[in-house]
Amino acid sequence: MASVVVVGTQWGDEGKGKIVDLLTRYADYVVRFQGGNNAGHTLVVDGKKFIFHIIPSGILYPEKRCMIGNGVIIDPAVLIRELEGLAAQGLTVSPKQLLISERAHLIMPYHSRLDQAAEGALAEEKKIGTTGRGIGPCYMDKVGRIGITTGDLLDAGLFRDKLQAAIDEKNFLLTRRYQVEPMDVAAVYDQFMAYGQRLAPFFGNVSLELDRARKKGENILFEGAQGTQLDIDHGTYPFVTSSNTIAGNACNGSGFGPAHIDAVVGIMKAYTTRVGAGPFPTELNDATGNRLQERGHEFGATTGRRRRCGWLDNVVVADAVRLNGLTGLAITKLDVLSGEESLQIATSYQLQGRPCAAMPANVRQATAVTPVYESLAGWREDIDKVRDYQELPATARAYIERVEELTGVPAVIVSVGPDRAETLLRQNPFK
């Protein structure tokens, strides 16, 4: 048996959904451990596109057991839409396939209302670029010990008491600070009682089930959302998400002991992208950046926003190697670089004339760094039909091998196109 964690090494959108889908065939359990519906995982299977925001990507395998851990925050309306969307495509999800932690916190309507109001009140240069889906306010309530969990929906009296206390406070903020309409307790109560009735069969103890699976010798795959540079503690703060995106949170966000993790695979796009505001040292505001954006179809799966594009930033990846304890890299979207005569990799930064080997904690310094680039030869050939690593152009292999040298981590997976089949599995982390 083995337990493998999959995380993003950059600012998210690296293609984790596809890699999780690939590795799910070797897993018995797939566990989502953090984030909410501010993240989107896109899968293309036999030319058909699937986008998941809450449900683990492994749900496309009906014989697998998927879990949503306590570290995830859940908008039940979005979750139910995903379940209904799958059912409409002939994939009805049963409680045997999906287990939702009774300790996972709920995104309430006032969270998204507060999220949008707070972002809207900021001056343009101070906006974080939030998705407006209530992620930050929900995690604030969780840490503030006033949140509402999925398990609370099973106790109508407890839920009503907690809801009344929360809305009393939130309405004060909504009406007094932001001058927007208040929330109605009765309407929210009725709405969420209906959600609870629909979802109750899926609620349970994820930690207990994972421990049983481990003791039976089952393979467990943990998937995170976003990327390392969006981690609340270790990312480009404050332009980050509101949860810990690094591998260590796989344990905390699911109730799984850290001694039982066997491998950590970091998903790394062959170039770099970022959605929303915040530092981006290798960003290309030129024709090359536009080409990467167009070839890579770089639009956020959740927001539809255009992704900012730039050269591969090895400083960012090196941070991810250190923070996550990566044992392997999965390099995605290598095919997007086809046609470029030369490629650049940022190997370090300069900050006020001094070398800088990691992303600065100071956001102004992170914005002011200058990347130091190394040039490599590109390739002209289309590579989406390649199914063996040795059949890649020599310069494409040289690019991958230089990344391995710079990071000290082997590239165990290489993706040469969006479809499930367009992936080279060089080393299976479950074996």
Active-site amino acid positions: 13, 41
Strand partners, 18: none
Phi, psi of 117 (to 5 degrees): -65, -45
**Nearest alpha carbon to residue 231 among 215, 252, 248:** 248
Provide the 3-class DSSP secondary structure of residue 351: strand
Q: How remote is the C-alpha of 236 from its chain's centroid? A: 16
For the record, the structure tokens of 313 come out as 């930033």
Is residue 4 within 8 A of residue 265, CB to CB? The reply is yes
Q: Which strand (E) or helix (H) includes residue 196?
A: helix 185-199
Under 8 Å between Cβ of 234 and 227: no
* DSSP single-letter state for residue 72: B
What is the rounded distance in angstroms from the CA atom of residue 412 to the CA atom of residue 265?
8
Report the alpha-carbon angle 407-411-416, nearest 5.
125
Residue 26 makes CB contacts below 8 A (sequence gap 6+) with: 219, 221, 428, 430, 431
Q: Which residues are within 8 A (CB) of 99 and not within 5 positions of it... i.e. 6 or more apart?
A: 65, 66, 67, 68, 202, 204, 206, 209
User: What DSSP state is assigned to residue 220?
Assistant: E
Which of helix, strand or coil describes residue 343?
A: strand
- Residue 89's CB is within 10 A of a number of other CB atoms, namely 10
